[in-house]
A and B are shown apart, each in its own frame.
Chain A
C-alpha cells in the first residue's frame, strides 16, 4: 500500500450557511443526507471507485439539494413552528428510487428521490423547445426515442404526515417491516403507515392527567432493527423502556425497563440534567443499545436491565463545570452516538470540535478533532488530549480553553465501511479509512493514528 495513494484530507463540505442539524447514511452507505436549521436537505452520493480517477475514489459529492420544510405559523396557538430538520431517516430501497423521511418539530414528510438520465426526443408535434410545430411542415412521422441526458435528480414530496403531534417531535424511526414508522415527541409516540397520512396510532402516551405531575419526557426512540414489534424509548430521567407492540395497543407499560441507579456521590444540582438520555441506538446486531447522556455513553445488553454493561466517559472533566455549562446552556446540548458496522466501535461528539471513539474490545479510546488544519496532504488524524491539570504535554488542550461553541452533536457511521460523517456547526467532514476494516487506536505512548485520511488533488467543492 502506498501512502500517497491512500491518504487524503477529509472531505470538507460547506453544506450551507445554516447549522447542520442531522446526518444520516442510507442503508448501503451510498447516500448521505444532511438536514439543517433552515429546513434544507442536502444529499451526497459516493462516487463509484474507478480506475480513471483513482484519487477521487469513494468521495462524496452533492447529489441533490432541496427545501424540505418551511417555517410555519400556528395561528391557533400563536406559535411559530421552526423549519429546522430534526431527523432524517432513509427508507430501505425497494426500487430505483430512494426515499427518506424528514421531520421538523411538527410535520414529517416522505420524499422520493428519482433520477432522470434520459429524455424522449423526436416528437412529431413539438419541436425541441416544446413549441408546437406548424403542421404543414411535418412531412413524415417518427417514433420518439429516449436519448441520454445529463443526470437530473428530482425530488418530490410523496406524503406529508401532519397534525400528529402536539409537542415537539424529537425522533422518527422506520420499522423493519418497511411499512410503518414511528414518530416521538416529548410525551407521545405515534405509529404511522407509510402510505396513510390522515391517521396514526398512538402507542405511547406518558402525559399525566395533571401536567403538574410531569416528571419526565421522552427524549429519543427507535425500532428494533430486526423485530418489528419491539421498540425502545429513552426518557429525561435516564431510563430506557423496551416495549412490545404485541402486548397491547397502548404500550405505556414497558416490557423491560433499563435503568442504572444513580451514584449518590455524584449528586449535584444538575444530576437530573446530565442523566437525561439524548440519543439511543440499537446495535446492528440488535442485541445491544447505545445511549448518550451528557457526560457518558453506555452500552446496554437487552438481556440485562439493571445496569449498562459498559460505560465510557466522554468528557468527565466537565463534571466540575456543570454550573457554568448550565449558565451558558451547554448542559442542554443533545449529543448523538453511533455504532460502527460491526458494533465494535462506538463514536460520539464533544466540544471544541472533538469527537470520541471507543473500541469496545480493546477498551481503548481516542479523541479526534474535526478541523480544517487536518486537510493537509498525507495527513493523518492526530489524537488529541484534554489535560485537566497535572503535567501537560505539548499539544494538549486545557479544559479552560475548550471552545464550547464548537460542538459536534451529529455524527454518522457508514453501515459497512470505516467512513464517518461529522457535522461541525455548518461544516460536514467525511473521514475515510482506506486501510480496510481497521481502526487503530493509540497505544499508551500516545503515538499512533486512527484514520488514514485520504489525499486528493482537487479541493472539494463548496456547496451552498
Chain B
C-alpha cells in the first residue's frame, strides 16, 4: 500500500511539474520533461501493480523495520504505521477489474523486473522479482512507448478511472468505462487509491465535448505487443470527474492533505488543459502550445511528428488525454 501511496504521490507531483513547465519562462525544457515522464511511467507501473503486503523491496536505506510515521517532505522511508494491512478482500475484488487477471496475477507483486523500485522498506523480499515473462512482456511493451505516451497514460490513470492501460485491456468494461462488478462506494475502505468511477458527469469544461475512445493512445501504439487490443467501442463516452479523496491510512494526517491536494490538482489540471487546448487541434502556431517537439519552425514546419495521432483521432479524444498526447 505504501508503494501505491508513494507512487500515487509521485504521479501527481510529476503531473504538476509537467503542467508548470508549460508556463515556465523560456519554453518547455525537453530534458526535464523527459525525466519527469520517465518517473511518471515508473510510478504508474508500481501504482498499477496489485497491492500485496509483505513483498516489498529493500530500499537503499535497507532498514528492516518501517519507521512509525511517514513525514511529509521526507522520502518514503517506510510505510506509515498500521498501513501494512492487506486491502480488504471486498475492495480487492473490484480492483482487479481494472487489471486483467490473466496477465496481472503473475506480476501482481512485482514491479517489472529491473524496474524502478520505490524507496521503501522491506518486510519480505524473496519473490518480488518474479513474474518473469509477463513482466517481460509488459516491460517490453512499456519500453517501446515513448515518454509522452507514458505521461499521457499516467495522466489518464490518475485523471479518473477510465484510464485503461493496454495491459488492462482485456478487462470487461461497461460502456461508460466503469469496471464491472459494481464500483466501490466512496466510503469503501479501499486500501488502494482506486481510480474513481467515471460515470459522473464531466466537470465543467469549455472544451470539445468529443466522446472519445477510452484509450486513444492505443491507436498510436498500434503494432506494439500487447497493445491495442480491447479498446472499448469508440462510441463510449468515458466521462471524467475528479478523483475522490483517497482513503486515509490510519497514520496519515499529512497524507490527508496530500490526497486532497491531489484531487484538487487533478480537477484543475483537467480544466486548465481543456481550456488552453484549442490551439493544438488547430495545429497552428498561434495557439501558443509549447510542445517541445512542436518547436520545429521554418525548415521543419511540415513535420508531422508533433502530433502522434491523426487529426480525426485527436478530435475524438477527450481534452485531458489529448492534452497529454500533445504534450
Contact = CB atoms under 8 A, between A and B. Distances in A.
A167 B28 CA distance: 9
B30 A268 contact: no
Contact of A211 (B10, B13, B117, B305): B305
B98 to A, nearest CB: 21
Contacts of A320: 59-61, 75, 77, 119
B30 A271 contact: no
Interface in B20-43: 25-27, 29-32, 34-35, 38-39, 42-43
B119 A187 contact: no
B184 interface: no
B146 A215 contact: yes
A266 B149 CA distance: 26
Contacts of A131: none
B34 A81 contact: no
| B interface, over-half SS | helix
A163 B73 CA distance: 42
Contacts of A270: 39, 116
A214 B35 contact: no
A327 B73 contact: yes
A167 B285 contact: no
Contacts of A332: 32, 35
A268 B117 CA distance: 4
Interface string A259-288: 000001111111111001000000000000
A82 B25 contact: yes
A141 B296 CA distance: 63
Contacts of B306: 211
A77 B290 contact: yes
B92 interface: no
A217 to B, nearest CB: 5
Interface residues of A, number: 50
A212 interface: yes
Contacts of A208: 146
A268 B75 CA distance: 12
B286 A326 contact: no
Contacts of B220: 212
Contacts of A297: none
A167 B295 contact: yes
B288 interface: yes
B285 A77 contact: yes
A78 to B, nearest CB: 4
B119 A168 contact: no
Contacts of A213: 144, 146
Nearest to B113: A264
Interface string B264-303: 0000000000000000000001111010111111101000
Interface string B38-78: 11001100100000000000011100000000000111110
A234 to B, nearest CB: 11
A138 interface: no
Interface in B146-197: 146-149
Given A80-B27, A168-B30, A217-B30, A323 B6 contact: yes
A358 to B, nearest CB: 22
27 contacts: A77-B285, A77-B297, A78-B285, A78-B286, A78-B290, A79-B290, A79-B295, A163-B298, A168-B30, A211-B148, A211-B293, A212-B145, A212-B220, A213-B144, A214-B147, A214-B293, A219-B31, A265-B60, A266-B60, A267-B116, A267-B117, A268-B60, A272-B39, A272-B116, A319-B60, A321-B74, A326-B13
Interface of B: 6-7, 10, 13, 17, 25-27, 29-32, 34-35, 38-39, 42-43, 46, 59-61, 73-77, 114-119, 144-149, 220, 285-288, 290, 292-298, 300, 305-306, 308
Enumerate the 9 nearest inter-chain pairs by beta-carbon distance, A residue then B residue, closest first.
A212-B146, A211-B293, A323-B75, A82-B26, A78-B288, A186-B30, A79-B27, A269-B116, A272-B38
